[in-house]
Amino acid sequence: MPKSEGDGSRWTVSEDWETQRGIVNDLFAVETNLELAALREHFANKLLFLEVVEAIGNLKTNTSDRDKKRAQHRAEGYHINNGHLWCIQPSKSLASRPRVKCVTQEEAIALAEEEHKTNRHWGRDLVKLKLMDTICSPWLDQSIWQALLKCVQCKNFGSMHLHSLLYLIMW
144 binding Zn ion? (CB under 5 A): no
Among 59, 88, 151, 166, the residue binding Zn ion under the rule CB under 5 A is 151
Using CB under 5 A, which of the segments 1-9, 28-36, 58-66, 150-158 binds Zn ion? 150-158
Rounded to whole angstroms, the Cα distance separating 126 from 123 reads 6
Q: 107-126 mask for Zn ion (x: CB under 5 A)?
A: --------------x-----
Please answer whether residues 139 and 146 qualify as being in contact, where contact means their C-beta atoms are separated by less than 8 angstroms.
no
Among 61, 93, 153, 164, the residue binding Zn ion under the rule CB under 5 A is 153
**How far is C-alpha 153 from the geometric centre of its chain's CA atoms?**
30
Q: Is 3 exposed, middle or buried (0-12, 13-18, 19+ CB in 10 A)?
A: exposed
> How many other CB atoms sit within 10 Å of the CB of residue 14?
9
Shortest distance (Å) from residue 113 CB to Zn ion? 9
Q: 39-68 mask for Zn ion (x: CB under 5 A)?
A: ------------------------------
Closest to Zn ion by CB, 26 or 114:
114
Residue 126 belongs to what H/E stretch? helix 124-132
Question: Which spans of this chain sit near Zn ion (rule: CB under 5 A)?
Answer: 121, 151, 153-154
